């Protein structure tokens, strides 16, 4: 069977689900953060596939932007984690339940 | 008869999912460093998928920015925080079970929708070629303003990170 | 009538309208306006308020002069146009209302002028005058209103402003209690009043006085079996305001207010409101009495007859109590009660004659001489440094001659000595009673004897003899600003009845007043108005002066006889007395009278526990049924749900993510299916 758009989209969906699983199941803030990156990459893959099969380069430009924003986001996010760790001496989500009243 | 590119697709797709799984839920190790290394591998195999989609420039950026810069940043922070703690903690079985269930449900729904979908592709048109030259032209013609705004965003992120990393927040 | 004439009448009507609204509004505007003046500008505040009422008086005189045979309606706007009930704010200017407005504003302006002297040293001088203006405004609203609902609204306003005035010295607990008592007693009556209004509305579909009058004229039994009940319920309002038994208890306590307030309340405004209102809705009482099925045994007993008995009883009761009071203001208060009983009795009995004129007549004359008596009492109290016990006065006649002589004139008028005005109006009341109900006539004569007795006692003890206390011996005449109103009021007290006033009121009320003598025939010949009034003055004076003896000699002789008996009795008892001899001779009876028949004690012994019981039941229901089951049940279930939902809010990031993913799966399932 010739590979088409659905194939790439299925890979993208599965990768996205794996990322989501990581966010739900893993306890370390850092690993959760990596899982988020995975989800972002899944979206990128879908965009590139759409771009390819829609005869339109806008999707690739979008991915380019996403990668740039993700880089910035990772920098800020990691800085936040470091600051949090410095304050609480933990990067474990279960210890960070101050949202609860 | 499957073409060579199809074989490559299956290979890269399989690798991507396998490494992604190992990154997220490695049954052998829960060390963040292992996760990070598998994430790098996932990203590299995904770059392969990008190449298959003729997005060569993005494939290069993916490896340079993600596998290079971002993952180094991750590893750097892991080293800085000396994270071993998660290994010592028990897995929350119900959380993992329920999480897997929800995620499986979602994945099932999505995959089912993809399989049932009949993508409409204009007849007779060839898939677009993502050459770097073409991409650059669009980027600096149609998307010039967003591009410039992005540079400001990076600047802001930089300032923010510096502020956050200072010892005393005032 | 041709078109031109119609237009003329309409134009004249619109002028009247503005005038009438001005009469009503000027006390309110001046009172409210002066509220914004600084508290230090005392004189200006007082002047402003007095000017407002005086303006109202002047305009009232004009209105009185031009009010003709036809009532003028001034409807300004529709207040609540509900289908089936169109509540309007409008005025009805006829002879009755313009006369009453005149009485109110005349007495009020004199009282206000007097107050500038009496209240001179009071801290809340400005507040006093503003509240007085509000009071006058409310009273004028009742007088001029053209529909029952508006009367009711202003009725309540009078209640509120009287509350403010009686409790004026609110730092004294007694004043606060008296104010509350007055307000609550009035509210009790007003409740019945409102019910009565609703019955009238339900039966006739209108609240406008003119329309109601026309409807009742066409069909006197329009209320059907509710006629007597409606009449009595409306009378309940008058019972509260005019302090009739059993709601009379507030009035003596209202003496806690400043004396000018007592003068105003007791003479021309609040207590007069009840009697005036009865005259205004008199068509309710001329209707034949009828009762709903369970009360059939009462037969054709009209509300008027019951009202007459209540009035007579109140008159006798209050007169008896007044005999043994020692507080100068309380004596006058009970005398007011007694005279109000007279008026109410006359109005109630008038139902069978078809006119309440005699009651209204007595109301007008009484307004002037009772205001004068109260102001005189205020003058005495002022002079004796707020000493109110008459046994601690004495010998004042030399020191304050103006007050003394005006007080004597007032006493003569109240006792009913010819040729003072009180004699003529009281005679009308006696004639009414004699013609309708001999039992009440006897009571009325008895009350007249008692009235003379206690008034002469008051004058003899307070003014004659020797000074019996330090403050009385140092008393001196009050300032001019306080004596002038007394002197001015003395004129109508003496001479008001020399005018053909009784006939005027008779014609104003539409019935056949039984005036007497020359004045009567003269008025029948000429249309009544201010000019014919002056034309007829020479005839009228003669006719009015000796009218009573020509018309109904028995009643007139009995009235005169009552004065003689009462005054001679009082003179024998108190002429040389330095303390009250009655307690010794009467024993327990005197104590009963002095204790005011222990009405307050009976009320607090019977009604307070009943009220407390009802309150306890209501409290239990409120606490356990409404708050317990209703409110707390509701809040409990809400809180339970809230607690359940709070479990979801673990604060754990990953729980949220999980819920998010599950939700996403569900949404995706529905959208991508």
DSSP C71: P
Comparing B83-92, C28-37, C620-629, which segment has the lowest mean pLDDT?
A: B83-92
Which residues in chain B have their CB less than 8 angstroms from residue A15's CB? 16-17, 20, 42, 46
* pLDDT interval class at A16 (50, 70, 90): very high
**A interface mutation test: which of C647, C650, C651 has the most A CBs within 10 A?**
C651
In a domain, A71, yes or no: yes
Is there a cis peptide before residue C419, judged by omega within 30 degrees of 0?
yes
Q: Where are the alpha helices (DSSP H) in C221-302?
A: 227-241, 250-253, 259-267, 270-280, 283-286
Interface check for C654 against chain A (CB to CB < 8 A): the answer is yes
The two three-digit tokens of residue C473, written as one number: 């011996």
- What is the average pLDDT across C600-620? 79
- C668 → closest Cβ in B95, B98, B106: B106
Cβ distance B110 to C672 less than 8 Å, yes or no, reads yes
Q: How far is A74 from chain B (nearest CA, A)?
A: 7
- Dihedral over Cα of C603, C606, C608, C614: its sign: negative
- What is the average pLDDT across A6-28? 88
- A10 → closest Cβ in B52, B111, B126: B111
Interface check for A13 against chain C (CB to CB < 8 A): the answer is no
pLDDT at C334 over 50: yes
Which residue matches tokens 């708050």?
C627
DSSP, collapsed to helix, strand or coil, labels residue C90 as strand
- B53 → closest Cβ in A52, A90, A92: A52
Which residues in chain C have their CB less than 8 angstroms from residue B98's CB? 658
In a domain, A81, yes or no: yes
- Residue of chain B whose Cα is closest to the Cα of A28: B86
pLDDT digit string, tens, across residues C199-217: 888 888 888 888 888 888 8
Comparing C95-99, C136-140, C471-475, C529-533, which segment has the lowest mean pLDDT?
A: C529-533
Q: b/e for C612-641, b at 16 or more Cβ within 10 A?
A: eeeeeeeeeeeeeeeeeeeeeeeeeeeeee
Interface check for C652 against chain A (CB to CB < 8 A): the answer is yes
- What is the average pLDDT across C67-96? 75
| pLDDT (0 to 100) of residue C524 | 40
Which residue matches tokens 């001029």?
C144
| pLDDT (0 to 100) of residue C183 | 87
pLDDT at C528 over 90: no
pLDDT at B113 over 90: no
Beta-bridge partners for A92: A28
For residue A19, give the CATH number of its domain: 1.10.287.3510
pLDDT digit string, tens, across residues C250-307: 888 888 788 888 888 876 678 888 888 888 888 888 777 777 767 766 666 777 888 8
CA angle C282, C288, C291 (to 5 degrees): 110
In a domain, A49, yes or no: yes
| pLDDT (0 to 100) of residue B68 | 86
| pLDDT (0 to 100) of residue C282 | 84
Which residues in chain C have their CB less than 8 angstroms from residue B106's CB? 661, 664-665, 668
How distant, in Å, are the alpha carbons of A38, B45, B60, B78 from that of B67?
A: 12, 11, 10, 16
Burial environment of residue A83 by CB neighbours within 10 A (0 to 12, 13 to 18, 19 or more): middle
Contact C106, C53 (CB under 8 A): no
Q: How far is A1 from chain C (nearest CA, A)?
A: 24
In a domain, A60, yes or no: yes
* pLDDT interval class at A41 (50, 70, 90): very high
| pLDDT (0 to 100) of residue C582 | 64
DSSP, collapsed to helix, strand or coil, labels residue C132 as helix
Interface check for B161 against chain A (CB to CB < 8 A): the answer is yes
Chain B, residues 51-80, CB within 8 A of chain A, namely: 52-55, 57-58, 61-62, 65-66, 69-70, 73-74, 77-78, 80
Q: What is the ipTM of this complex?
A: 0.88
Burial environment of residue C607 by CB neighbours within 10 A (0 to 12, 13 to 18, 19 or more): exposed
Q: How far apart are the first and last CA of chain A?
A: 55
Higher pLDDT, C648 or A74: A74
Contact C416, C427 (CB under 8 A): yes
pLDDT at C328 over 80: yes
pLDDT at B15 over 90: yes
Q: How far is B53 from chain A (nearest CA, A)?
A: 6
The two three-digit tokens of residue A4, written as one number: 């088409």
| pLDDT (0 to 100) of residue C527 | 42
Q: How many CA atoms lie within 13 A of B82 on its CB side?
A: 2
Which residues in chain A have their CB less than 8 angstroms from residue C643's CB? none
Nearest to C150, CA basis, from C217, C197, C111? C197
Which residue matches tokens 């979008």?
A62
* pLDDT interval class at C517 (50, 70, 90): very low
Which residues in chain C have their CB less than 8 angstroms from residue A96's CB? 653
Higher pLDDT, A46 or C353: A46
DSSP A54: T
- Residues C631, C138: Cα–Cα separation, whole Å: 41
Which residues in chain A have their CB less than 8 angstroms from residue B57's CB? 60, 64
How distant, in Å, are the alpha carbons of C66, C390, C413, C578, C579 from that of C565?
A: 44, 23, 16, 22, 22
Q: CB neighbours of C215 closer than 8 A, spacing ≥ 6?
A: C204, C206, C222
pLDDT at C508 over 80: no
| Chains in contact with C, where contact requires at least 3 CB pairs less than 8 Å apart | A, B
Which residue matches tokens 């999980």?
C658
Cβ distance A6 to B119 less than 8 Å, yes or no, reads yes
DSSP C281: T
Cβ distance B128 to A55 less than 8 Å, yes or no, reads yes
Cβ distance A24 to B99 less than 8 Å, yes or no, reads yes
Which residues in chain C have their CB less than 8 angstroms from residue B113's CB? 668, 672
| pLDDT (0 to 100) of residue A39 | 92
Which residues in chain C have their CB less than 8 angstroms from residue A23's CB? 654, 657
Chain A, residues 59-98, CB within 8 A of chain C, namely: 93-94, 96-98
- Please report, for chain A, how many H helices and E strands are present, in that order: 3, 0
Q: CB neighbours of A54 closer than 8 A, spacing ≥ 6?
A: B121, B128
Cβ distance A30 to B153 less than 8 Å, yes or no, reads no
Cβ distance B95 to C672 less than 8 Å, yes or no, reads no
Task: Round the average pLDDT of chain C to a whole number and report it.
Answer: 78
- pLDDT above 90 covers a percentage of chain C that reads 0
* pLDDT interval class at B41 (50, 70, 90): very high
Report strand pairing: C72-82 vs C85-93: antiparallel
In a domain, A100, yes or no: no
- pLDDT above 70 covers a percentage of chain C that reads 83
| pLDDT (0 to 100) of residue C534 | 55
- DSSP track, C325-357: --BHHHHHHHHHHHHHHHHHHHHHHHHHHT--H
- Three-state SS sequence of C525-583: HCCCCHHHHHHCHHHHHHHHHHHHHHHCHHHHHHHHHHHHHHHHHHHHHHCCCCCCCHH
- Residues C546, C498: Cα–Cα separation, whole Å: 10
Q: How far is C123 from chain A (nearest CA, A)?
A: 56
- Residues A8, B49: Cα–Cα separation, whole Å: 9
Comparing B63-77, B94-108, C62-76, C469-483, which segment has the lowest mean pLDDT?
A: C62-76
- Residue of chain B whose Cα is closest to the Cα of A16: B107
| pLDDT (0 to 100) of residue A40 | 92
* pLDDT interval class at C44 (50, 70, 90): confident
In a domain, A10, yes or no: yes
- A24 → closest Cβ in C649, C651, C654: C654
Interface check for A56 against chain B (CB to CB < 8 A): the answer is yes
The count of structural domains within chain A is 1
Comparing A31-40, A82-91, B71-80, C296-305, which segment has the lowest mean pLDDT?
A: C296-305
| pLDDT (0 to 100) of residue C518 | 32
pLDDT digit string, tens, across residues C156-200: 998 888 888 888 888 888 888 888 888 888 888 888 899 888 888
Higher pLDDT, C540 or B140: B140
Q: How far is C663 from chain B (nearest CA, A)?
A: 9
pLDDT at C597 over 80: no
* pLDDT interval class at C375 (50, 70, 90): confident
Interface check for C648 against chain B (CB to CB < 8 A): the answer is no
- C649 → closest Cβ in A25, A94, A100: A100
- Residues B39, B61: Cα–Cα separation, whole Å: 16
- What is the average pLDDT across C143-147? 86
Beta-bridge partners for C75: C90
Percent helix, strand and coil across chain A, each to the nearest 5: 80, 0, 20
Neighbours of C364 (CB within 10 A): 24
Which residues in chain A have their CB less than 8 angstroms from residue B17's CB? 11, 14-15, 18
The two three-digit tokens of residue C369, written as one number: 């001489």
DSSP, collapsed to helix, strand or coil, labels residue C121 as coil
- What is the average pLDDT across C556-570? 78
pLDDT at C389 over 70: yes
Q: Print the domain residue range for A83.
A: 5-95
- DSSP track, C160-185: HHHHHHHTSSTTSHHHHHHHHHHHHH
pTM of the shown model: 0.63
| Chains in contact with A, where contact requires at least 3 CB pairs less than 8 Å apart | B, C
In a domain, A101, yes or no: no
- What is the average pLDDT across B74-81? 85
In a domain, A42, yes or no: yes
Nearest to A10, CA basis, from C402, B13, C548? B13
pLDDT at C346 over 50: yes
Interface check for C661 against chain A (CB to CB < 8 A): the answer is yes
Interface check for C670 against chain B (CB to CB < 8 A): the answer is no
- Residues A30, A39: Cα–Cα separation, whole Å: 14
Interface check for C218 against chain B (CB to CB < 8 A): the answer is no
């Amino acid at each position: 069977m010739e590979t088409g758009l659905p194939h790439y989209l299925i890979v993208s969906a599965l990768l996205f689900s794996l990322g989501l699983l990581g966010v739900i199941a893993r306890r370390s803030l850092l690993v959760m953060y990596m899982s988020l990156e995975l989800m972002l990459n899944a979206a990128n893959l879908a965009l590139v596939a759409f771009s390819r099969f829609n005869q339109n380069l806008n999707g690739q430009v979008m991915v380019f932007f996403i990668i740039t924003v993700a880089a910035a986001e990772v920098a800020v996010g990691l800085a936040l984690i470091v600051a949090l760790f410095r304050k609480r001496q933990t990067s474990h989500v279960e210890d960070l339940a101050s949202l609860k009243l | 008869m499957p073409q060579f590119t199809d074989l490559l697709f299956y290979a890269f797709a399989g690798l991507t999912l396998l490494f992604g799984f190992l990154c997220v839920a490695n049954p052998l190790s829960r060390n963040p460093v292992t996760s990070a290394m598998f994430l790098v591998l996932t990203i590299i195999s995904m770059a392969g998928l990008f190449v298959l989609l003729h997005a060569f420039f993005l494939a290069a950026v993916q490896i340079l920015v993600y596998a290079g810069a971002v993952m180094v940043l991750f590893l750097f922070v892991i080293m800085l925080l000396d994270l071993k703690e998660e290994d010592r903690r028990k897995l929350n079985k119900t959380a993992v079970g329920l999480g897997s269930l929800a995620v499986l449900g979602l994945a099932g729904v999505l995959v089912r929708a993809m399989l049932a979908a009949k993508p409409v592709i204009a007849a007779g048109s060839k898939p677009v070629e993502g050459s770097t030259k073409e991409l650059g032209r669009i980027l600096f013609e149609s998307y010039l303003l967003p591009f410039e705004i992005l540079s400001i965003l990076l600047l802001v992120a930089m300032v923010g990170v510096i502020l956050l990393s200072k010892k005393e927040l005032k | 009538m041709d078109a031109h004439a119609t237009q003329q009448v309409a134009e004249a009507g619109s002028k009247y309208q503005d005038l009438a609204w001005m009469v009503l509004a000027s006390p309110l505007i001046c009172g409210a306006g002066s509220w914004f003046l600084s508290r230090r500008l005392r004189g200006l505040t007082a002047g402003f308020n007095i000017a407002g009422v005086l303006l109202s008086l002047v305009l009232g005189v004009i209105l009185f002069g031009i009010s003709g045979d036809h009532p003028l309606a001034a409807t300004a706007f529709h207040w609540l146009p509900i289908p089936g009930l169109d509540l309007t704010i409008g005025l009805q200017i006829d002879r009755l209302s313009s006369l009453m407005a005149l009485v109110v504003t005349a007495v009020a302006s004199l009282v206000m002028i007097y107050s500038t002297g009496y209240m001179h040293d009071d801290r809340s001088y400005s507040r006093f005058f503003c509240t007085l203006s509000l009071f006058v405004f409310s009273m004028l609203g009742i007088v001029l209103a053209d529909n029952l609902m508006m009367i009711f609204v202003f009725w309540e306003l009078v209640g509120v402003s009287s509350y403010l005035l009686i409790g004026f010295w609110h730092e004294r607990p007694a004043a606060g209690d008296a104010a509350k008592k007055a307000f609550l007693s009035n509210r009790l009556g007003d409740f019945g009043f409102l019910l009565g209004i609703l019955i009238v509305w339900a039966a006739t579909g209108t609240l406008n006085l003119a329309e109601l009058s026309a409807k009742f004229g066409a069909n006197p039994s329009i209320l059907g079996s509710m006629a007597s009940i409606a009449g009595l319920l409306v009378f309940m309002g008058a019972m509260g305001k005019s302090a009739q038994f059993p709601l009379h208890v507030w009035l003596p306590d209202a003496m806690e207010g400043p004396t000018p307030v007592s003068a105003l309340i007791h003479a021309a405004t609040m207590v007069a409101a009840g009697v005036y209102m009865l005259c205004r809705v008199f068509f309710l009482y001329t209707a034949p009495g009828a009762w709903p099925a369970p009360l059939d045994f009462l037969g054709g007993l009209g509300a008027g007859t019951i009202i007459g008995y209540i009035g007579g009883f109140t008159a006798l009761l209050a007169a008896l109590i007044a005999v043994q009071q020692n507080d100068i203001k309380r004596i006058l208060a009970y005398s007011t009660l007694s005279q109000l009983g007279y008026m109410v009795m006359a109005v109630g009995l008038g139902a069978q004659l078809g006119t309440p004129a005699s009651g209204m007549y007595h109301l007008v004359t009484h307004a002037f001489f009772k205001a004068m008596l109260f102001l005189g009492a205020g003058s005495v109290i002022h002079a004796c440094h707020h000493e109110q016990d008459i046994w601690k006065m004495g010998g004042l006649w030399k020191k304050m001659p103006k007050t003394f002589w005006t007080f004597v004139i007032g006493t003569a008028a109240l006792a009913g000595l010819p040729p003072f005005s009180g004699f003529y109006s009281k005679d009308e009341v006696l004639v009414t009673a004699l013609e309708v109900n001999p039992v009440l006539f006897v009571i009325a004569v008895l009350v007249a004897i008692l009235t003379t007795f206690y008034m002469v006692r008051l004058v003899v003890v307070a003014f004659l003899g020797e000074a019996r206390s330090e403050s009385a011996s140092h008393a001196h005449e009050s300032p001019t600003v306080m004596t002038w109103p007394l002197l001015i009021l003395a004129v109508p007290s003496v001479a008001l009845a020399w005018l053909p006033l009784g006939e005027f009121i008779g014609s104003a009320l539409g019935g056949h007043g039984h005036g007497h003598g020359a004045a009567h025939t003269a008025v029948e010949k000429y249309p009544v108005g201010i000019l014919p009034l002056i034309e007829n003055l020479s005839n009228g004076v003669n006719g009015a002066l000796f009218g009573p003896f020509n018309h109904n000699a028995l009643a007139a002789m009995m009235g005169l006889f009552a004065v003689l008996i009462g005054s001679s009795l009082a003179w024998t008892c108190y002429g040389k007395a330095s303390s009250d001899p009655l307690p010794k001779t009467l024993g327990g009876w005197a104590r009963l009278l002095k204790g005011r028949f222990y009405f307050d004690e009976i009320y607090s012994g019977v009604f307070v526990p009943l009220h407390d019981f009802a309150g306890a039941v209501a409290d239990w229901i409120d606490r356990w049924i409404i708050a317990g089951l209703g409110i707390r049940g509701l809040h409990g279930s809400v809180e339970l749900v809230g607690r359940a939902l709070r479990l979801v809010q673990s604060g754990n990031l990953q729980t949220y993510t999980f819920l998010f993913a599950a939700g996403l799966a569900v949404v995706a399932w529905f959208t991508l299916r």
